[in-house]
Amino acid sequence: MAVHDTVSFLSDYGHDDEFVGVVHSVIRTIAPDARVIDLTHGIPAHDTRAGGLTLARAVQYVAPGIVLAVVDPGVGTSRRAIAVEVGGGAGIFVGPDNGLLAPGVAMAGGATRAVELLDDRFHLPAPGPTFAGRDVFAPVAAHLCTGVELDELGPAIDTASLLPGVLPVSRDEEGVVVAEVLWVDRFGNAQLNIGPDELVSRRATLRVGDVVRTATLAPTYGAVPTGGVGLVVDAYGLVSIALDQRSAAEELTLSPGSEVRLEPLGEGPAGHTTPLAFPTTRREA
Amino acid sequence: MAVHDTVSFLSDYGHDDEFVGVVHSVIRTIAPDARVIDLTHGIPAHDTRAGGLTLARAVQYVAPGIVLAVVDPGVGTSRRAIAVEVGGGAGIFVGPDNGLLAPGVAMAGGATRAVELLDDRFHLPAPGPTFAGRDVFAPVAAHLCTGVELDELGPAIDTASLLPGVLPVSRDEEGVVVAEVLWVDRFGNAQLNIGPDELVSRRATLRVGDVVRTATLAPTYGAVPTGGVGLVVDAYGLVSIALDQRSAAEELTLSPGSEVRLEPLGEGPAGHTTPLAFPTTRREA
Amino acid sequence: MAVHDTVSFLSDYGHDDEFVGVVHSVIRTIAPDARVIDLTHGIPAHDTRAGGLTLARAVQYVAPGIVLAVVDPGVGTSRRAIAVEVGGGAGIFVGPDNGLLAPGVAMAGGATRAVELLDDRFHLPAPGPTFAGRDVFAPVAAHLCTGVELDELGPAIDTASLLPGVLPVSRDEEGVVVAEVLWVDRFGNAQLNIGPDELVSRRATLRVGDVVRTATLAPTYGAVPTGGVGLVVDAYGLVSIALDQRSAAEELTLSPGSEVRLEPLGEGPAGHTTPLAFPTTRREA
């Protein structure tokens, strides 16, 4: 089996403290030749859902090897520390068993094996159980890069026992697509949990709380008319709400979890609703 | 020709999302031996001027190789994706043709060749045209590190056709230097578009909007007297406005683009203006 | 002597500007094979105390080699630029002699040799003295990775002459532990300058300014009861004030330097004070 030499690292550690640097240092000490790629450390604190969605988006681009993911509000409690193999060894996810890894594992084709990280030969001695990223997950990721085998890390566990991630499902209410914001990016674009196949018309009435706007399908962010609201198929193939060089999230008060209702508008006069049935989608990790 | 092994990467992606990490991942997958240096990803969203100025400041320190720069408000529109060779192959800039690259290219001695990135053998398949950093620029930068030649990436274009960057020029109004803030750094120092040769006296009356202060030339930030306003020749050889361990930008309400008027004060009694002519400068990229 | 190949880099540069990237570029150019690990660049501007404490926390995990630390409010003034050897060559700290390095050097076992960085063969030419990170410290760190010896960098200085760091000491006031907040992390946990041995009871009355709360020793952050205040032995072996998935710093208005008074509460009825003497600690770097 190939020895892995890349660790792709995601967390909610932020960059204000030394957490990320210490994890890099631990890996550098144990596995000097491994390369660590920071996917992001900007996941909101404790937000396993946001972390899971980010992993799901990123995983298809990640270099073969180890994915180290730490968003761990239950650190030190009974939640398990795990390593999950995908693709029969093509990659291994290391992190807490709290749903964080599940969407990424699913996007990578599903778990082929899993172990609980109980063998402390591969951990650092720790004054307390509160920084598992440094004391458990980072050294395990590093040891995997030095050739330690998955089954040395601890007892095998049933992959069916892993905590699933829950991705919200859009629904159809008499022709209105009821979607949810998955993610607001740095530019203020709000990604929805629907693909373009769920839009039956180029224009739609968009409702977010009390705000009602007309939204129009646009091929790129730059093609959204000034002052208008665009529906743009984003870089992950999902529909996002976008304004031209301004923040849609700010102007429309959107944040992850916001409900967005899209009612199709005919190509004719605005206000004429095309009575088509929308397919509902179901995405689960 | 030497194969490049460093990619110096600048963007407006920030660190909250996985954009930077995904670009690193793409490069790691295509060119595992290349090293990626993050110049900064803190350019304000869509601010090609700030990105261009940052490139201009950084470029003389950048390791030989590829400069990957992405601030791309027009992504997916008719703006061209380009690679620009400098120094007859000493370096190659990769990014959008929107003026972002121009100041860096100029500081590196000017373009010797350029191509439009139209050959999609060197791109990633993409669900949409909105993340060219991931789908076009990063894979191109990586392929250049694996030995792909510039002219394989697409058709040659006239270097004279590249969109220029525009740097603001200071001017002399009857002995008053009218300058502009180029950059406010993290410490609140405000870099102006003038060199020390444009200051004819050690003290000047400084006007920003309605604020009037006396500013004094100081050799270092630490030498600015407490409560005073310093004019310090900064690390790039330009004059910056600085306070001692406080933010000049905050106290004087300075931001990039602010107009700053400097009227020379004689070395004698404050208020006595030395009637010297200031040279005007013209810097363009 | 082993040639070093890792530079662990800490600063107050933040990520909005290109400072960090330029330092990486300088090292990459001089020592292409060195690996740079970013410990953190989120130290508050000019805060040498916070930088020193961060180094002290991180240093036991840092990979062998060079520690490059730059928080340098007195740049360009008479403060010395230094390199400090620890462990007889196991590591070398490079930075300003302003107390920043001292806590890390102490945690690494103390200085065995030190030099002042006066030999400008190992510096970059600079337009001014304001960016010593780029022009002095980074090139010196890089040259050390290429095999340059410590004593080539400048004249030896007495290690006893290095500016010490000052760490606050807790004290006992008639059974009340008077502690100080060292650090507030990204999750809002507030690290105190006391170890668990200084807590004589599992519960204590906690006073911060006018706020009075009952705090309870908890084995992990997750074990702090909702609505309660926890005293958790943190990942560095010190007592921290924590809430369950909320920010203790925000709710109790804690920041570095805040005084926190802990009066022991008996295991019996709340309010009954156990009259035990607390040991006082003295930690200095």
User: Model confidence at C278, in pLDDT bands (50, 70, 90)?
Assistant: very low
Residue of C nearest to A38 (CA): C38
Name the DSSP class of B53: H
List the single best residue of C9, C12, C13, C18 to mutate versus B (max B Cβ within 10 A).
C18
* CA angle (A56, B132, B57) in 5-degree steps: 110
For residues A131, A132, A135, A136, the Cα torsion angle rounded to the nearest 10 degrees is 180
Distance CA A281, CA B164 (A): 47
Query: Which positions 112-131 of B are in contact with C (Cβ < 8 Å)?
Result: none
For residues C24, C26, C31, C34, the Cα torsion angle rounded to the nearest 10 degrees is -10
For residue A154, give how far its alpha carbon lies from the nearest alpha carbon of chain C (Å).
23
Helices (H), ranges, B91-181:
102-107, 132, 138-145
Of B6, B61, B222, the CB nearest to C22: B61
The overall average pLDDT reported for chain A is 91
Of B12, B26, B75, the CB nearest to A221: B75
- The pLDDT, as a whole number, for residue B245 is 83
| Chain C touching partners, 3 or more CB pairs below 8 A | A, B
Is there a contact between C44 and C73 (Cβ–Cβ < 8 Å)?
no
- The pLDDT, as a whole number, for residue B227 is 87
- The pLDDT, as a whole number, for residue B200 is 84
Query: Which ipTM value was assigned to this complex?
Result: 0.91
Of B37, B41, B237, the CB nearest to C24: B37
Per-residue pLDDT averaged across C165-185, rounded?
93
**Chain A positions in Cβ-Cβ contact with residue B26 (cut-off 8 Å):** 61
Per-residue pLDDT of chain B (285 residues), as tens digits, is 457 999 999 999 999 999 999 999 999 999 999 999 999 999 999 999 999 999 999 999 999 999 999 999 988 888 999 999 999 999 999 999 999 999 999 999 999 999 999 999 999 998 878 899 999 999 999 999 999 999 999 999 999 999 998 788 999 999 999 999 999 999 999 999 999 999 988 999 999 999 999 999 999 988 898 889 999 999 999 999 999 889 999 999 999 999 999 999 975 444 333 333 223 333 444
For residues C8, C12, C16, C18, the Cα torsion angle rounded to the nearest 10 degrees is -60
Which residues make Cβ contacts (< 8 Å) with residue C56, sequence separation at least 6?
C103, C104, C106, C107, C167, C285
Q: What is the pTM of this model?
A: 0.92
- The pLDDT, as a whole number, for residue B278 is 28
Distance CA C41, CA C11 (A): 5
More confident residue, C16 or C272: C16
Q: Which two tokens stand for residue C185?
A: 């992390």
- The pLDDT, as a whole number, for residue C281 is 36
User: Are residues B129 and A220, on separate chains, in Cβ contact within 8 Å?
Assistant: yes
For residue B106, give how far its alpha carbon lies from the nearest alpha carbon of chain A (Å).
27
Of A28, A73, A134, the CB nearest to C37: A28
- The pLDDT, as a whole number, for residue A2 is 58
| Chain B touching partners, 3 or more CB pairs below 8 A | A, C
Of B15, B61, B245, the CB nearest to C15: B15
User: Model confidence at A274, in pLDDT bands (50, 70, 90)?
Assistant: very low
**Chain B positions in Cβ-Cβ contact with residue A245 (cut-off 8 Å):** 46, 73
User: Are residues A54 and B18, on separate chains, in Cβ contact within 8 Å?
Assistant: yes
**DSSP letter string, B211-258:** EEEEEEEESSGGGSPTTSEEEEE-TTSSEEEE-SSS-HHHHHT--TT-
User: Are residues B127 and A63, on separate chains, in Cβ contact within 8 Å?
Assistant: no
Distance CA C143, CA C31 (A): 7
Name the DSSP class of C134: I
Which tens digit of pLDDT belongs to each residue from A225-255? 888 999 999 999 999 999 988 999 999 999 9
For residues B119, B123, B128, B132, the Cα torsion angle rounded to the nearest 10 degrees is -100
User: Are residues B127 and A233, on separate chains, in Cβ contact within 8 Å?
Assistant: yes
User: Are residues A61 and B22, on separate chains, in Cβ contact within 8 Å?
Assistant: yes
| The pLDDT of residue A266 is above 90 | no
Of C20, C22, C75, the CB nearest to B220: C75
User: Are residues A18 and C10, on separate chains, in Cβ contact within 8 Å?
Assistant: yes
User: Model confidence at A1, in pLDDT bands (50, 70, 90)?
Assistant: very low
Least confidently predicted of B5-14, C52-61, C113-122, C127-136: C127-136
Other CB atoms closer than 10 Å to residue B172's CB: what's the count? 15
Is there a contact between B219 and B232 (Cβ–Cβ < 8 Å)?
yes
Which tens digit of pLDDT belongs to each residue from A47-104? 999 999 999 999 999 999 999 999 999 888 889 999 999 999 999 999 999 999 999 9
Residue of B nearest to C77 (CA): B222
The overall average pLDDT reported for chain C is 91
Query: Which positions 128-157 of B are in contact with C (Cβ < 8 Å)?
Result: none
- The pLDDT, as a whole number, for residue B222 is 86
Handedness of CA C23, C48, C121, B238 (dihedral sign): positive
Picking from B116, B111, B81, B63, the residue whose alpha carbon sits closest to that of residue B285 is: B111
Is there a contact between C109 and C87 (Cβ–Cβ < 8 Å)?
yes
- The pLDDT, as a whole number, for residue A267 is 56
**Chain C positions in Cβ-Cβ contact with residue B221 (cut-off 8 Å):** 73, 75-76, 130
List the single best residue of C5, C7, C12, C25 to mutate versus B (max B Cβ within 10 A).
C25
For residue C161, give how far its alpha carbon lies from the nearest alpha carbon of chain B (Å).
22
User: What is the three-class DSSP state of B9?
Assistant: strand
For residue C91, give how far its alpha carbon lies from the nearest alpha carbon of chain B (Å).
24
**B8 contacts chain C (CB < 8 A):** yes
Other CB atoms closer than 10 Å to residue A70's CB: what's the count? 27
Residue linked to tokens 């599992």: C202
Is there a contact between C69 and C8 (Cβ–Cβ < 8 Å)?
no
**A22 contacts chain C (CB < 8 A):** yes
Rounded to 10°, the helix A48-58/B19-30 angle is: 30
| The pLDDT of residue C285 is above 90 | no
- The pLDDT, as a whole number, for residue C270 is 41
Which tens digit of pLDDT belongs to each residue from A141-164? 999 999 999 999 999 999 999 999
Query: Which positions 186-225 of C are in contact with A (Cβ < 8 Å)?
Result: 186-187, 219-223
User: Are residues C16 and B40, on separate chains, in Cβ contact within 8 Å?
Assistant: yes
Distance CA A42, CA A50 (A): 10
